[in-house]
């Protein structure tokens, strides 16, 4: 999408960590924001956001909403559920966008709100294992997907500006309802994090000599456990909100692990090869 078509606005970002800070950088890079106002309950994060130039100024939530045209949530989803209705209460003309990894509880929290139309639910499928303002990077979100949920419940101007903003920072758009989003996110994102956390704990439990881990770790191991460095303050609320879907995919994952375990116990190498060949079909998705 041509970035010149998007209306430049004053943007308030609630949460100046990895996602919020990286989005702030992209909005500057693309000339989408006339000013970026930051909001962060962590005083150290607030100071660092100013030091790094992620925000022009840091204000209270109330002042940030009042002075901005767009309010973007980039905080853990449990806090978002409580704050989203509060911000909509304050909003007049403001567009309110969230960047959370779960959607159904957020949708339920504001479905009857009189200003529901000003809210656009989104989930940019980008992130790293790092957190805090220092983790913010230039060039984030490029060529990644962003899921926009329940757009029929959003006002036309709010939905269109959000579409244009994500298009301008290089993302391709996918639209679906909030319930479907949470189901799909459990399979393509949330289970990956649980697997990484579990593998890291397994290795740390079995390998007491840390030096051996560092010396023997290959690129494959590092990529597999990279997500294990992710912040629990972000991921526990995601697992809590998407518990049923995560349990569903986790049960299937455990079933698959049992198949591999059985092959090894019974020395069934033919079936083991079949399992691996079946897994190779993921190439159709990940080329």
**Highest mean pLDDT (candidates 93-102, 203-212, 225-234):** 93-102
Whether residues 225 and 96 share a domain: the answer is no
Last residue of a domain, one of 177, 196, 214: 177
* Residue numbers of the domain that contains 200: 181-284
79 and 202 in a single domain? The answer is no
Report d(CA 149, CA 64) in Å as an integer: 25
Question: How many domains is the chain built from?
Answer: 2
**pTM attached to this predicted model:** 0.88
pLDDT score, position 211: 66
Contact 70, 10 (CB under 8 A): yes
Residues with Cβ within 8 Å of 116's Cβ and at least 6 positions away in sequence, in order, are 88, 110, 153, 154
Domain co-membership, 153 together with 41: yes
Q: CATH code at 104? A: 3.40.50.720
Query: Residue 184: what are its φ and ψ, rounded to 5°?
Result: -65, -40
Band of residue 3 on the pLDDT scale cut at 50, 70, 90: very low
Q: pLDDT tens across 7-49, in order?
A: 899 999 999 999 999 999 999 999 999 999 999 999 999 999 9
pLDDT band with cut points at 50, 70 and 90 for residue 1: very low
Reported as a pLDDT band with limits 50, 70 and 90, residue 202 is: confident
Give the three-state DSSP class for 172: strand
The answer to whether residues 237 and 112 belong to one domain is no
Q: In this structure, are residues 15 and 75 in contact, taking their beta carbons and an 8 Å threshold?
A: yes
Note whether 146 and 32 are same-domain residues: yes
**Integer angstrom CA distances of residue 132 from 114, 231, 272:** 34, 10, 42
Segment 235-283, tens digit of pLDDT: 999 999 999 999 999 999 999 999 999 999 999 999 999 999 999 998 8
* 68/211: higher pLDDT: 68
Burial class (CB in 10 A: 0-12, 13-18, 19+), 69: middle
């Amino acid at each position: 999408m041509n970035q010149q078509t998007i209306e430049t606005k004053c943007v308030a970002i609630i949460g100046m960590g990895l996602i919020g800070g990286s989005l702030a950088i992209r909005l500057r890079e693309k000339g989408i924001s006339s000013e970026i106002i930051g909001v962060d309950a962590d005083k150290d994060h607030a100071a660092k956001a100013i030091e790094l130039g992620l925000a022009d100024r840091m204000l209270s939530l109330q002042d940030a909403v009042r002075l901005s045209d767009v309010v973007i949530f980039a905080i853990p989803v449990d806090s978002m559920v409580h704050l989203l209705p509060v911000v909509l209460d304050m909003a007049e003309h403001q567009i309110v966008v969230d960047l959370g990894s779960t959607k159904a509880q957020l949708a339920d929290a504001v479905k009857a709100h009189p200003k529901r139309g000003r809210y656009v639910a989104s989930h940019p499928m980008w992130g790293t294992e790092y957190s805090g303002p220092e983790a913010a990077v230039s060039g984030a979100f490029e060529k990644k997907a962003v899921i926009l949920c329940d757009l029929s419940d959003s006002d036309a101007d709010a939905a269109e500006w959000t579409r244009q903003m994500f298009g301008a920072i290089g993302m391709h758009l996918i639209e679906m309802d909030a319930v479907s989003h949470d189901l799909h996110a459990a399979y393509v994102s949330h289970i990956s994090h649980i697997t990484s956390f579990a593998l890291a704990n397994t290795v740390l439990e079995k390998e007491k000599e840390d030096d051996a881990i560092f010396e023997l770790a290959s690129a494959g191991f590092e990529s597999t456990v990279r997500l294990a460095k992710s912040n629990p303050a972000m991921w526990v609320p995601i697992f809590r909100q998407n518990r049923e879907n995560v349990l569903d995919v986790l049960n299937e994952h455990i079933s698959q692990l049992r198949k591999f375990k059985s092959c090894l116990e019974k020395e069934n190498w033919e079936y083991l090869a079949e399992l691996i060949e079946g897994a190779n079909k993921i190439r159709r998705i990940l080329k």
